[in-house]
Structure 1
Amino acid sequence: MTLRSVVRGTGHYLPDRVVPNSWFEERLDTTDDWIRSRTGIERRHFAAEGQATSDMGLRAARAALDKAGLRPDDIDGIVLATSTPDHTFPASATMIQYGLGMTHGFAYDVQAVCAGFVFALANADAMIRAGMARRVLVIGSETFSRIMDWTDRGTCVLFGDGAGAVVLEGQDGAGTSDDRGILASDLNSDGQYRELLYVDGGVSTTGTAGQLRMQGNLVFRHAVEKLAKTAHVALDKAGLTPAQVDWLVPHQANARIITATAQKMGLPMDKVILTVADHGNTSAASIPLALSVADSQGRFAPGDVILTEAIGGGLSWGSVVLRW
């Protein structure tokens, strides 16, 4: 028997404020057509004043627990993927733990920018398989609207705020690719590309939060190549091929990257979950958001093979293959 980390429930939360592309037309030298044609984004959500990353993560966590039919007491730990925490410390995961009324287990943050949820998912899976936990809440939550340069039309139109969560539960499997749950993962980082996508602030450098900076064309080239490669590596580890993938749930960076990666893998777009038009790029929240939205729409069937992949600042990138 092999212990597998199975998705018991999903949940998500989006702030009430919806920001259409027309909002940027009024403030920048840009148009709705320009944004749509280059990114596929039509609207995004921004957190309200005073609404923190942990507030949204808590809402998504509660929704995932409800979907799983579980209570906070049933959870052994929380792993939160975020690059926009409430505070330098403590971890925003502990704020979510407190909000759930949990006084047991672990709670900590993982920071791998847009790839954060994939890293957090693999981390939680490893702890479950090692016997350190049976059930783990894995959350992605971001407030990227707080680190935008609103004069840079190449970046500020891309990002939105939101949160998504999954409940992972350890269940016995046969140790084959037919098992439910996480089958394989692949994680990578390479700091030589750190200046392609970063925030120009920090506690030990400027003492400020800073603003996001990105070399978009170079990020695009690296993204398509590295996402396709990590996906193939994870599928090989799982003993599967791209033809056996039922759903690709990618990081929702922009429609061009998603389409190019799917084409490079030979996957038709009707097998790709796309939420970027409505959410924008929500960084570490994008994959759990997309998973939860698709799950709520009944798009996943038991036994479906789901491939997730993401790339973010660092550069950091990776993928997780699971069976629903």
Structure 2
Amino acid sequence: MSRSAARITAIGSYVPEKRLTNLDLEQLVETNDEWILQRTGIRERRIAGEHEFTSDISTKAVQDLAERYGKSFDDVDLIIACTMTPDFKTPSVAAMVQAKLNIPNAGTIDLNAACAGFSYGLQMANGLITSGLHKKILVIGAETFSKILDYTDRSTCILFGDGGGAVLVEHDADNPSFIESHMGTNGALANNLYCTDLAGEMFGEDLAARNVVWQNGREVYKWAVNTVPKGVNALMDKAGVAPSDVDWFVPHSANLRIIESICTRSGLSLDNTIYSLEYYGNTSAGSIPLSLAEGVKDGRIKAGDQLLLYGFGGGLTHAGMLVKWSI
């Protein structure tokens, strides 16, 4: 990757108030707290209100960022909202955020790379700023997955939650955040994790579920634990760093068993891994910014730390980056 001229200068987050615990799920499907905790590491997840949508979560995450860092958005020139659960097909979530926060001079775009969305959004922001096309970009990762779940399907409803986070990326050629990146896709496996829209078939075959998230958990697990460690190692090789040089690994918070396997196979330390799944569940594109925000709030992540971020999920697609934290 060519030398970056972009720096992450602020971060914020938001999760809905309503909690859905494992004990609550025992009343909905055939499961129990011990079974969920052992297989996923999740204790509870947050659920958006009936009239609370992804643009609301995104707006509140950006407001949190502004309050924590005293940032103004008058000169933000682009908003990238990473999500697969938009309020509408159009307008975009990013356009709704622009309206709700009255940001006067910003372009807006939504990006859908499912659980890898935030990593892709950061990569796009870095490229646009480093190229000189933009100076100040809001990158948001947020979801309301509860609105596309089948709460009779225990293979999915126990996993996902709602929430999100946002970062501000600004031009700074002297102290850039972005060191190296890596990405890839195996679209041939897309039918293992999907949520339908206009089409009801894929690769010539009818799909089992309509308008709700469906996944073949076994196949997604196999893909993740084989693909992501290779991607992590490719990223470190390109950057010329060893696992011991990484201060914090911040993966997509899919499932603790997946994260444990990725750490074992890539040589990264689980003790130096930050995830948000225990109390928020799998929040798709929201999981990495939520993890980052939690790590900053509790003092684990400090200025100067080297972080390895890695998103992976529906597509099946994955993207990671090595960043120097400088807030």
State whether TM-score is above 0.5: yes
Who is 2:168 aligned against? 167
Is 1:202 aligned with 2:197?
yes
CA contact (8 A) 2:135 2:171 kept: yes
| Structure 1 position 100, deviation (Å) | 1.2
Q: Which runs of 5+ in 2 are unaligned?
A: 202-208
What CA distance in whole angstroms lies between the structure 2 residues aligned with 1:141 and 1:79?
A: 11
| Structure 1 position 68, deviation (Å) | 3.4
Who is 2:32 aligned against? 31
Who is 2:157 aligned against? 156
CA contact (8 A) 1:68 1:167 kept: no
Who is 1:184 aligned against? 180
Is 1:94 aligned with 2:90?
no
CA contact (8 A) 2:4 2:179 kept: no
Is 1:298 aligned with 2:299?
yes
CA contact (8 A) 1:231 1:318 kept: no
What CA distance in whole angstroms lies between the structure 1 residues aligned with 2:172 and 2:237?
A: 22
Is 1:8 aligned with 2:4?
no
- Pair 1:75–1:41, CA change in 2 (3 A): same
Number of residue-to-residue matches in the alignment: 317
| Structure 1 position 296, deviation (Å) | 1.2
- Pair 1:40–1:268, CA change in 2 (3 A): same
The superposition leaves residues 249-286 of structure 1 with CA deviations (integer Å, 9 ceiling, x where unpaired) of 11000100111111112122220002211010000000
CA contact (8 A) 1:180 1:303 kept: no
| Structure 1 position 70, deviation (Å) | 1.4
Who is 1:75 aligned against? 76
What CA distance in whole angstroms lies between the structure 2 residues aligned with 1:211 and 1:119?
A: 24
Who is 2:213 aligned against? 212
| Structure 1 position 170, deviation (Å) | 1.7
**TM-score normalized by the length of structure 2:** 0.93
| Structure 1 position 194, deviation (Å) | 0.6
What residue identity is the alignment partner of 1:202? D
Percent identity (aligned): 37
What CA distance in whole angstroms lies between the structure 1 residues aligned with 2:133 and 2:160?
A: 35
Who is 1:106 aligned against? 107
| Structure 1 position 9, deviation (Å) | 0.8
| Structure 1 position 67, deviation (Å) | 3.1
CA contact (8 A) 2:18 2:47 kept: yes
CA contact (8 A) 1:4 1:183 kept: no
Is 1:266 aligned with 2:267?
yes
CA contact (8 A) 1:43 1:279 kept: yes
What residue identity is the alignment partner of 2:74? D
- Pair 1:135–1:67, CA change in 2 (3 A): farther
What CA distance in whole angstroms lies between the structure 2 residues aligned with 1:35 and 1:2?
A: 44
| Structure 1 position 72, deviation (Å) | 1.4
Secondary structure at the counterpart of residue 132 of structure 1 = coil
- Pair 1:205–1:222, CA change in 2 (3 A): closer
CA contact (8 A) 1:65 1:167 kept: no
Who is 1:224 aligned against? 225
Secondary structure at the counterpart of residue 107 of structure 1 = strand
Secondary structure at the counterpart of residue 155 of structure 2 = coil
| Structure 1 position 204, deviation (Å) | 5.1
What residue identity is the alignment partner of 1:189? T
**TM-score normalized by the length of structure 1:** 0.94
Who is 1:310 aligned against? 311
What CA distance in whole angstroms lies between the structure 2 residues aligned with 1:91 and 1:64?
A: 21
What residue identity is the alignment partner of 2:179? L
What CA distance in whole angstroms lies between the structure 2 residues aligned with 1:90 and 1:82?
A: 13
Secondary structure at the counterpart of residue 125 of structure 1 = helix
Q: Which moved more, 1:2-11 or 1:215-224?
A: 2-11
Who is 1:242 aligned against? 243
Who is 1:176 aligned against? none
CA contact (8 A) 2:252 2:275 kept: no
What residue identity is the alignment partner of 1:183? I
